[in-house]
Amino acid sequence: MGAIAWGLLGPEALASERRTRTLGLGAAVRSFNDLAVPGLGGVWFGKQLLLGTLGVAIAERVRNSGKRAQNIEVTNAVEALACWLALDFSGWKRDPRLRGALKLSGKKDLSFATVSKRSFYVTQPMRQATVQPLRALGVVESSGERFNAFRCTKHGEAFIDAAWAAFRPHKRSVLDHLVMWARGIHDDVKTSELRRALSPLEPMSESASEFLRERIVQGTGTEASRRRKALEWVEALRDKTPQQIESDAKPTMVDELHWRDLRAGALFFAARDAAISLLDQIESHIGNTADQRMSLDATLSETVADKVESLREHGQAFLDDNYDPSPVGEATMFCRECTEQVDTRLLEKLLFREGHVLRQRGRDIVPGVAFRGIQVSPSEAARSPEEDGAEAEVAQVIPLPEGISHRVRNLFLLNLDLCSELGKWLTGPTDNDGGE
């Protein structure tokens, strides 16, 4: 049995949630992600934060005018409008920065009353990834984490001004124009000016990018320091290829404790992903059987047995590292279950954690409510709600250690966006091109 080496480079893709397998590991996942890059949630390009801030600001203005408006409803509508304008202009070409290509296709009525309906846009908007970072970066404030309780701060207003000072749709500011739209005073939002301002495919202005970078690195204490150091790290990687990186070497700007947390997180995520890969394989196996069941007492197929052994190796690799900063040792408890030497017991423990796509009935594994019966691609199998990052898979290789927290990958992409390089990078050659 080969040892599991942390730090090997591999293709990393942003996950798109079709169904979420948390395995009861939510607290550990959040902990390792916050230790890696504190406060940035699931954000990976600047317009996600900008549209979220704008939605909160618009809702607040509408409420101040005496009309009912909820932050979630308004922000979802702004995001839907931004994606519709971008898709319509691009001929409805898919892009990982856009949501709802299928849902929005054929829709013509862009009045706020229509766009704000739940049926108009996707059920999992990009807004969901911004709840933590909007507060952490100080562009909104609230007494709790509920998005509807957010209020725009002076920093949020400055962010909006920095982004759209040059845009004057119908000789109004972007904010004023969309407040009128949200109040139902006018519905004229199909303009080139507004499309260039809102489209997730258009980079933010240089001043908005500078402002956001400053918000990311500002502050004192461990969290701010880790964001700064992580940003320095991904900036140093910006013009490198995977072959140019010493994957086992600690980056000079990252301190020892931060690196140890990143390493432990990578080992934990590798074990978690191996568990999900095993469950996916079992689901595929059951989907190819006539009675759609698999006996826990039967001899495992070669493919399932290989996945079980891989899970044990990854679980043991985490335990061998002998370091667990997760709450109440949750990661250690999970990895101990993953190293159970009796196949049946290992599967029973995993099924107890799963219960969503597969479940145990008597001595059989049978379909759960989200069963598909096919091998699901990584881009469709979000490991946690936060890892719902894009509607389409990002094909390019991100030159980071295998298993690293998705927040570091997201920060790599966000940094490209702040340098106005993300669009070109996303359409560049993939690792499958082979240089031919």
Instruction: Write down the pLDDT at residue 6.
Output: 54
Same domain flag for 355 and 292: yes
Structural domain includes residue 212: no
Q: Which of 321, 336, 339 is nearest to 265 (CA)?
A: 321
Angle between helices 302-321 and 330-338 (to 10 degrees): 140
Instruction: Write down the pLDDT at residue 26.
Output: 92
Instruction: Write down the pLDDT at residue 356.
Output: 83
For 357-401, the pLDDT digits (tens) are 899 999 999 998 888 876 555 545 556 656 554 444 677 888 888
Structural domain includes residue 172: yes
Structural domain includes residue 364: yes
Which two structure tokens, joined as six digits, stand for 309? 């052994």
Structural domain includes residue 115: yes
Same domain flag for 16 and 139: no
Structural domain includes residue 436: no
243 falls in which pLDDT band (50, 70, 90)?
A: low
Same domain flag for 86 and 19: no
For 309-356, the pLDDT digits (tens) are 999 999 999 999 999 999 999 999 999 999 999 999 999 999 999 878
Same domain flag for 192 and 235: no
Same domain flag for 120 and 238: no
* Candidate from 167-181, 232-246, 298-312, 316-330 with smallest mean pLDDT: 232-246
9 falls in which pLDDT band (50, 70, 90)?
A: very low
Same domain flag for 147 and 81: yes
Q: Could you give phi then psi for residue 153, rounded to 5 degrees?
A: -95, 180
Question: Is pLDDT of 222 > 90?
Answer: yes
Same domain flag for 194 and 61: yes
Same domain flag for 382 and 346: yes
Same domain flag for 228 and 360: yes
Mean pLDDT value across residues 261-287: 94
Mean pLDDT value across residues 28-50: 96
Q: How many domains does one find in the chain? A: 2
End position of a domain, from candidates 143, 168, 199: 199
In b/e form, how buried is each residue of 262-273, taking b as 16+ CB within 10 angstroms?
A: bbbbbbbbbbbb
Percent over 70 (pLDDT), the chain: 87
19 falls in which pLDDT band (50, 70, 90)?
A: low
Structural domain includes residue 432: no
End position of a domain, from candidates 140, 166, 199: 199
Instruction: Write down the pLDDT at residue 299.
Output: 93
Same domain flag for 134 and 60: yes
The rounded mean pLDDT for the chain is 89
Which residue range forms the structural domain that includes residue 405? Answer: 1-38+222-423
Instruction: Write down the pLDDT at residue 2.
Output: 46
Same domain flag for 276 and 394: yes
Structural domain includes residue 131: yes
Structural domain includes residue 162: yes
For 142-158, the pLDDT digits (tens) are 988 899 999 999 999 99
Instruction: Write down the pLDDT at residue 286.
Output: 93
Instruction: Write down the pLDDT at residue 187.
Output: 84
Same domain flag for 179 and 65: yes
